[in-house]
Amino acid sequence: MTQPRWLDSGEMAAWNAFLEASHRVGRRVEHQLREQEGLSHPQYEILVWLAEAPGQEVRMTELATQLVTSKSGVTYQIGKLEKAGLVRRRSCPGDDRGVFAVLTEQGLEKLRRAAPGHLEAVRSSLIDLLTPGQLEALSDSLNAVNRGLGSAD
């Protein structure tokens, strides 16, 4: 460890803004989904990823990677969604270890019903608070961050 590399006031402000925004936005989105749709945000995200995947199915580990969460977390949430009939499990042909999470018809229906309210929450919590230029700049910056962190896990 060499000299500590402190953050200047601008860098610190950016970090604090990032932290605060993460919490505030995450909180609002989770509340909306929970109260109006009876879904947690992780659950909703799973439904989205499944709906967009070919065959509406994704392997458990790939789901964990995409959602940036733990494997056990995915096991837990898929269990919940399965009990609710929104998702089912399918063993993976050609790999006895593998498990596909598959979106059910009910799951797709649930997603369709939940989407408008969720998107409205995303708008009011983030999108509509920014000018088009700000939004684009935000997107660019965060994409750079994600590119930087995606490789070095």
DSSP state for residue 15 in the 8-state scheme: H
Query: By the 8 A CB rule, do 77 and 40 touch?
Result: yes
**Contact letters (x/-) for DNA, 69-108, by CB under 7 A?**
xxxxxxxxxxxx--------x--x-xxxxxx---------
> Which does residue 145 touch among DNA, a copy of itself, none (CB within 5 to 8 A, set by kind)?
a copy of itself
Q: Which of 51, 67, 92, 102 binds a copy of itself (CB under 8 A)?
A: 67
Q: Which is nearer to a copy of itself, 25 or 92 (CB)?
A: 25
Residue with tokens 């803004």: 17
Query: Using CB under 7 A as the criterion, which residues of the chain lie in contact with DNA when the complex forms?
Result: 27, 31, 40, 42, 59-62, 69-80, 89, 92, 94-99
